[in-house]
Protein backbone atom coordinates (compact mmCIF):
# COMPACT_ATOMS: atom_id res chain seq x y z
CA UNK A 1 0.00 0.00 0.00
CA UNK A 2 1.13 3.51 -0.76
CA UNK A 3 1.53 5.89 2.13
CA UNK A 4 0.20 9.39 1.75
CA UNK A 5 0.66 12.53 3.80
CA UNK A 6 -2.05 14.93 4.92
CA UNK A 7 -4.96 15.29 2.52
CA UNK A 8 -3.99 12.20 0.51
CA UNK A 9 -0.97 13.88 -1.05
CA UNK A 10 2.34 12.03 -1.32
CA UNK A 11 4.43 12.43 1.86
CA UNK A 12 6.91 14.95 0.44
CA UNK A 13 4.23 17.13 -1.12
CA UNK A 14 2.37 17.71 2.15
CA UNK A 15 5.55 18.78 3.93
CA UNK A 16 6.66 21.03 1.08
CA UNK A 17 3.28 22.76 0.92
CA UNK A 18 3.20 23.26 4.68
CA UNK A 19 6.75 24.62 4.71
CA UNK A 20 5.97 27.07 1.93
CA UNK A 21 2.90 28.49 3.66
CA UNK A 22 4.43 28.53 7.14
CA UNK A 23 7.33 30.99 7.59
CA UNK A 24 8.57 29.49 10.87
CA UNK A 25 12.30 29.23 11.27
CA UNK A 26 13.97 25.86 11.66
CA UNK A 27 14.97 26.73 15.22
CA UNK A 28 11.29 27.25 16.12
CA UNK A 29 10.34 23.94 14.50
CA UNK A 30 13.11 22.16 16.39
CA UNK A 31 11.97 23.75 19.67
CA UNK A 32 8.38 22.62 19.04
CA UNK A 33 9.55 19.10 18.22
CA UNK A 34 11.66 18.96 21.39
CA UNK A 35 8.70 20.17 23.46
CA UNK A 36 6.40 17.58 21.87
CA UNK A 37 8.99 14.86 22.51
CA UNK A 38 9.33 15.92 26.16
CA UNK A 39 5.54 15.78 26.60
CA UNK A 40 5.37 12.33 24.99
CA UNK A 41 8.26 11.10 27.15
CA UNK A 42 6.57 12.40 30.31
CA UNK A 43 3.30 10.68 29.37
CA UNK A 44 5.16 7.43 28.63
CA UNK A 45 7.03 7.57 31.94
CA UNK A 46 3.78 8.20 33.81
CA UNK A 47 2.20 5.12 32.23
CA UNK A 48 5.27 3.03 33.01
CA UNK A 49 5.23 4.18 36.65
CA UNK A 50 1.56 3.23 36.95
CA UNK A 51 2.28 -0.12 35.37
CA UNK A 52 5.17 -0.69 37.76
CA UNK A 53 3.08 0.09 40.83
CA UNK A 54 0.32 -2.20 39.56
CA UNK A 55 2.80 -5.05 39.09
CA UNK A 56 4.24 -4.53 42.59
CA UNK A 57 0.73 -4.73 44.07
CA UNK A 58 0.07 -7.92 42.10
CA UNK A 59 3.29 -9.51 43.39
CA UNK A 60 2.47 -8.54 46.98
CA UNK A 61 -1.11 -9.77 46.61
CA UNK A 62 -2.60 -6.34 47.29
CA UNK A 63 -5.86 -5.23 45.62
9-56 tens-digit pLDDT: 555 555 555 555 565 688 899 999 999 999 999 999 999 999 888 776
Angle at the Cα of 34 (from 27 to 37), degrees rounded to 5?
A: 155
Q: What is the pLDDT of residue 22?
A: 64
Structure confidence at residue 8 as a pLDDT band (50, 70, 90): low
pTM of the model: 0.48
**pLDDT, position 2:** 53
pLDDT at 45: 96
Amino acid sequence: PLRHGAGGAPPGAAGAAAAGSNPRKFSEKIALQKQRQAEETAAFEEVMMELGSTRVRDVLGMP
